[in-house]
Chain A
Amino acid sequence: MTKQEELQGILRELKQALPELRSIVVASTDGLPIVHDAADAPRVAAMAATALGLGKRISQTTDLGSLEETIVRGNQGYFVVYATGDKGVLAVSAPADANLGLIHLEARSYAARLAQVL
């Protein structure tokens, strides 16, 4: 199995685990999409890298330790970017009525799996 196929497989599992997710993008920390199910993946990948990069710097500067995730919450939903090892980011978007706790629980463990493959 190629790395790409392996990542695709993990992405499919995450979709099954959290069917309420609107989109999932795995990207490099410099903002290029790797695997995704989003129509506008290049843009989402770049924004996810920006959110994570800035989040990391804020986390360092304000003594929060190493960054785990950056959350954007609008009145119609969430966009959450999880640190995925040194090289990747996992970005998911979900509607406002989604269970954020459940999303964190699943997405953090999937981010750890993705990090191993990346």
Chain B
Amino acid sequence: MEPLKVVVAGPVGAGKSTFIRTLSETEVVDTDALASEEIGKETTTVAMDYGTLHLGDQLLYLFGTPGQDRFDFMWDVLSEGALGLLMLVRGDKPEDFGSARRLLDYITSRHPVPYVLGVTRQDQPPVWGPEEVAPFFGVPQERVVGLNARDPRSAVGPLVRLLELMVDE
């Protein structure tokens, strides 16, 4: 089976780097730099995160994008040759939904690949659940999955869904 390249995108602080660190079976290639603006965390990704993971026999390459809009040129660089997209958004930060939706539209219009929307921080209520977030994004319910990016069993959920959708499409 051919390895499958999946891009992990989303606004700053959505949990993209955490997600890849949680799931990767190989040493993660990260590119953190000290954050010089207030973004609620110490460091931020400036180029990419990279990790690998097996789901059954299927090998996945996970490529995480930087979150800030100023790194938008990396979205296209990393989406080249991708076969799936996982868009992460913080479930406890609805003010990010607008930018996440624009990002989802941007990437899927330029790289029309199957996607899943992952709603993070499901372990930290109050938090929007996937069934509440789906109508906001105007995407079918089956494409929206809740997760906790720090818990491997929970984090793998959206990737399993993405594979299921790819088999169907």
Among the interface residues A45, A47, A86, which one has the most CB atoms of the partner chain B within 10 A?
A47
A62→B132 CA distance, assembly (Å): 46
A32 and B33 CA atoms in complex are apart in Å by 12
Q: How many residues of A contact B (CB 8 A)?
A: 21
Kindly state whether residue B73 has any CB partner on chain A within 8 Å: yes
Interface window among A53-61, A94-102, A105-113: A53-61
A23-51, CB < 8 A from B: 28-32, 42-43, 45-47, 49-51
Q: Are A30 and B31 in contact (CB under 8 A)?
A: no
The complex places the Cα of A46 from the Cα of B31 at a distance, in Å, of 13
| B71 near A46: Cβ-Cβ < 8 Å | yes
Q: Range of interface residues on chain B? A: 10 to 19
Decide: B36 and A32 in contact? CB cutoff 8 A. Answer: yes
Cβ of A87 under 8 Å from chain B: yes
Min CB–CB distance B18 → chain A (angstroms): 18
Chain A residues, Cβ within 8 Å of B68: 30-31, 46
- Asked if A29 contacts B29 (CB within 8 A), the reply is no
Contact (Cβ within 8 A) A87 B71: no
Contact between A50 and B66 (Cβ–Cβ < 8 Å)? yes
Give bound CA distance, A32 to B51, whole Å. 27
Name which of A42, A46, A51 has the most chain B CB atoms within 10 A of its CB.
A46
Q: Is B87 an interface residue (CB 8 A)?
A: no
Complex CA distance for A47 and B46, rounded to whole angstroms: 9
Query: How far does the Cβ of B71 sit from chain A's closest Cβ, in whole Å?
Result: 5
Quick check: B46 and A50 within 8 Å, CB to CB?
A: yes
A30 close to B29 (CB less than 8 A) = no
A-B contact pairs, 18 of them (CB 8 A): A28-B33, A28-B36, A29-B36, A30-B34, A30-B44, A30-B46, A31-B33, A32-B70, A46-B71, A49-B33, A49-B46, A50-B46, A53-B32, A53-B47, A57-B29, A57-B30, A61-B29, A86-B34
